[in-house]
Amino acid sequence: MRRWVVGIVVLSLVAMALVSPTLAFAHHGRGHFHGRGHFWGGFAIGAVTGAIVSHAFVPHVYAPPPAVVYQPAPVYYQPAPVYYPTTTCYDSWVDGYWYYGTWVGGHWQRTCR
């Protein structure tokens, strides 16, 4: 980029040197200058040179990049299955018996394992 700017400035200086000030203010011997027709050429070269040089020396301000938010990927997990032991129950007849001096009559009793 810097080479471009230097090249354009050199070209504009050469162009301004080619447009001789003696042509712009030619003295025709009558005591006044006739510089009509060369004003706008010089004005255009000066405007272009000023725009290029000012663009080269003005600091460029850029908007900051958008904020980057890193978020961990979602974690999907399935809980381990819970196995309950299968219970097996069965009914059985218990005959009557004496329990510390008390008679317990026969009955059905459910036992689960």
Any domain includes 92: no
Any domain includes 99: no
Q: What is the pTM of this model?
A: 0.27
More confident residue, 35 or 96: 96
pLDDT score, position 98:
94
Any domain includes 75: no
Tens digits of per-residue pLDDT, 79-107?
999 888 888 999 999 999 999 999 999 99
Any domain includes 104: no
Q: For residue 43, give the nearest of 4, 20, 16, 23 by alpha carbon.
A: 16
Joined tokens for residue 53:
């040089």
Give the number of domains in the chain.
1
Any domain includes 98: no
Any domain includes 82: no
Any domain includes 48: yes
Any domain includes 71: no
First to last CA, the chain: 88
Model confidence at 110: pLDDT above 90: yes
Residue in the block written with tokens 């006739």: 34
Model confidence at 21: pLDDT above 70: no
Report the Cα 53 to chain-centroid distance in Å.
Answer: 32
Per the CB < 8 A criterion, the answer to whether 95 and 106 are in contact is yes
pLDDT score, position 48:
85
Domain that holds residue 15: 2-57
| Residue 2 CA neighbour count, 13 Å, CB half | 0
Model confidence at 23: pLDDT above 60: no
